Amino acid sequence: MQKLIVIGNYPPDCQQSMERFAQMLRRGAEERGITAEIWRPEVFFAKRYTNTTSGAAKWLGYLDKWVRYPRVIRRRIATMRRSDSLRGVHFHVADHSNAFYMRQLPVAGSAITCHDVLAIRGARGDADAYCPASRPGRWMQAWILRNLARSQKVAAVSATTLSQLQTLSESVTGAYPPDRRDWRVIFNGFNARFSPMPCHQAKPLLRSAGVDPERSYLLHVGSSLERKNRAMLMEMAAKAGSKWNGAIVFAGTPLTPDLESRARQLGIADRVIQVLQPDHETLLALYSRCFAFVFPSFSEGFGWPVIEAQACGAPVIASNVPPMPEVSGGAAIHVAPDDVAGFSDALLSLTDETTRADLIERGFGNCNRFDNERMVESYLDLFNDSRTAV
């Protein structure tokens, strides 16, 4: 492979994690002497908008992404063919939501990353995905699945995601034949720096965020979507009673009115702290100083915060729903996401210093599996593997 072209996301969609992933692939290739660049859908119809996640801007964004940009890709590739500059070029679609672009790319020289199939499964009526879809959403997710299933090379970010995709593809007419495709698991690498923050650096950042650094606290990082199961942190703290009276910190998006109401019902509203959209340094401080990081999701595609917390030296209590045990490497306490007593017992078990220290140490060891260098090498192996070429 002489050149890598990463197909990134539409800028107004503000998909920051996908942008970081695309940049990681680009930099990794360049560091190994491979020419690399990122192609992104161009903003044309939605020029007036900086965000295209709702309203008229969303539909104008669809025109840019799904009508105009495929033609742009085809023209670029036709030009490359005419100038004989397509040889040695590999294309990689960074986000499975853009699987339609695979139809515009050379089959044998292209691959795609599947980060999860939650929305696809939710659109098909799988209640355990916790991702309900509108009628247009159901059509779109079926469209994404068709194009994923017809791809020759797919990198799934977990064995759970790969298994689910393989099962889903069995229902797709024209899916790429299993004996000729190369679908494999490639774990994500860390898309930013995560390591323990020294106490003297963390304390002022926590105070600025409204968190008392001298008080023990549980931490959740994410959103208030139903599948994130944020209420569990309140329930487990209330269940622990006087045996643990620390704070509960929610970092990310605001709590819903229902969650705030539940905190009042449990009598712990004065212990709940919200840190809205913390910057990276504040996030490191939160991870580094928490008594435990709690991730009780009902469904996830990967579960980034689990390894981010481990890398910062936080003991992790998480749901036992796949792929959480796979991602944690067994270096977390896993409990059924509806088991309040189980989560409470896990919390109290961390008061034992030996248990706590062992979990933290194994968490550090687990993070080695998500090394950026290892991820890039795995992708280059996928790109260069010609066993399935046609």
Question: From CA 360, how far away is CA 63, in angstroms rounded?
Answer: 48
Q: List beta partners, residue 221.
A: 251
Dihedral sign for Cα 105, 106, 107, 109, please: negative
Class of residue 379 by CB neighbours under 10 A (exposed 0-12, middle 13-18, buried 19+): buried
Residue written as token pair 């008229």: 56
CATH 3.40.50.2000 residue spans of the chain: 3-189+372-384, 199-369
Cα-based angle 373, 90, 193 (whole degrees, multiple of 5): 25
pLDDT of residue 389: 44
Structure tokens at 199: 């106490």
Question: From CA 36, how far away is CA 33, in angstroms rounded?
Answer: 9
CB atoms within 10 A of CB 276: 12
Three-class secondary structure of residue 130 per DSSP: coil
Instruction: Dump pLDDT digits (tens) for 81-135.
Output: 999 999 999 999 999 999 999 999 999 899 999 999 999 999 999 999 999 999 9
Element at 272 (helix H, strand E): strand 272-276
pLDDT of residue 108: 86
Structure tokens at 41: 């859908």
Are the beta carbons of 228 and 54 closer than 8 angstroms? no
Question: From CA 60, how far away is CA 346, in angstroms rounded?
Answer: 48
Are the beta carbons of 47 and 85 closer than 8 angstroms? no
**Topology of the domain comprising 199-369:** Rossmann fold (3.40.50)
Q: List beta partners, residue 239.
A: none
**Within 65-158, where are the H helices?**
69-82, 118-123, 135-149
**Whole-number CA gyration radius for the chain:** 22
Instruction: Dump pLDDT digits (tens) for 72-93.
Output: 999 999 999 999 999 999 999 9
Residue written as token pair 């996640």: 53
Phi, psi (rounded to 5 degrees) for 363 = -65, -45
259 alpha-carbon distance from chain centroid: 24
Q: List beta partners, residue 222.
A: 252
- Domain spanning 3-189+372-384, CATH architecture: 3-Layer(aba) Sandwich (3.40)
pLDDT of residue 386: 62
Percent of the chain with pLDDT over 90: 92
pLDDT of residue 170: 95
Class of residue 279 by CB neighbours under 10 A (exposed 0-12, middle 13-18, buried 19+): exposed
Instruction: Dump pLDDT digits (tens) for 300-337.
Output: 989 999 999 999 999 999 999 999 999 999 999 999 99
Looking at the predicted structure, is the pLDDT value of residue 388 above 60? no
The DSSP 8-state label assigned to residue 155 in this structure reads: E
In this structure, of 41-55, 207-221, 368-382, the range with the lowest mean pLDDT score is: 41-55
Q: Please state, rounded to an integer, the average pLDDT across all residues of the chain.
A: 95
Q: List beta partners, residue 359.
A: none
Cis before 315 (ω within 30): no
The DSSP 8-state label assigned to residue 367 in this structure reads: G
pLDDT of residue 250: 98
